Amino acid sequence: MLLSAQCTDKKVNEVTPALFAAGPTPSAVAALPEAEIFEHIRQLGLAKTKARNVRKLAHLLITLHGGKVPSSFEELEALPGVGHKTASVVMAQAFGVPAFPVDTHIHRLAQRWGLSNGDSVERTEKDLKSLFPPESWNKLHLQIIFYGREHCTARGCDGTVCPMCRELYPKRRQPVIWRRP
């Protein structure tokens, strides 16, 4: 997640096996020169900044957290390169804490489907959390991502391609944008 800004999940998944082989633990990553980390992730957008943040994060995990991933939003968001979305993914997937991580895909789909007005990812997260019970958030955010990848892509849906959009907007080619009263 730290590596996913400005690039696709597919590309991150291509480069991380070699990085994890070179640094399978926080101590091993902290011992890697920043230039070596960069070489492993150079194909990713913002690779220089990400390499610096990966190394700093590894050092902080060791010095502040005993080599373990912290289990609170506050501690996670204090780490270099970790924002609210990444912290939400970690809290949901690693610790089972109800969270609704909103990335660009969920943000776009929530707007397209009339679940949020799409003003910001923060607004979308708040809207989705108000619409669905907390016990569904962790699973639902993944379901929306996977559905969007398969059926309602950024460039591939004009309101007639995706079954959800066809159902919501049977007479329109483009979905209407929901506006909160």
DSSP string, 123-140: HHHHHHHHHS-HHHHHHH
The fold of the 104-168 domain, in CATH, is Endonuclease Iii, domain 2 (1.10.1670)
State the catalytic residues.
Answer: 85, 103
Q: How many CB atoms lie within 10 A of CB 147?
A: 15
Give the per-residue pLDDT at 79. 96
Give the per-residue pLDDT at 122. 94
Indicate the CATH number of 9-95 among 1.10.340.30, 1.10.10.60, 3.40.50.2300, 3.50.90.10. Answer: 1.10.340.30
Q: Give the pLDDT band (50/70/90) at residue 181.
A: very low
Give the per-residue pLDDT at 75. 97
Comparing C-alpha atoms, which of 58, 55, 74 is closest to residue 66?
58
Q: In residues, how long is the chain?
A: 181
Cα 37 from chain centre: 21
* Averaged pLDDT for residues 109-126: 91
Give the per-residue pLDDT at 177. 52
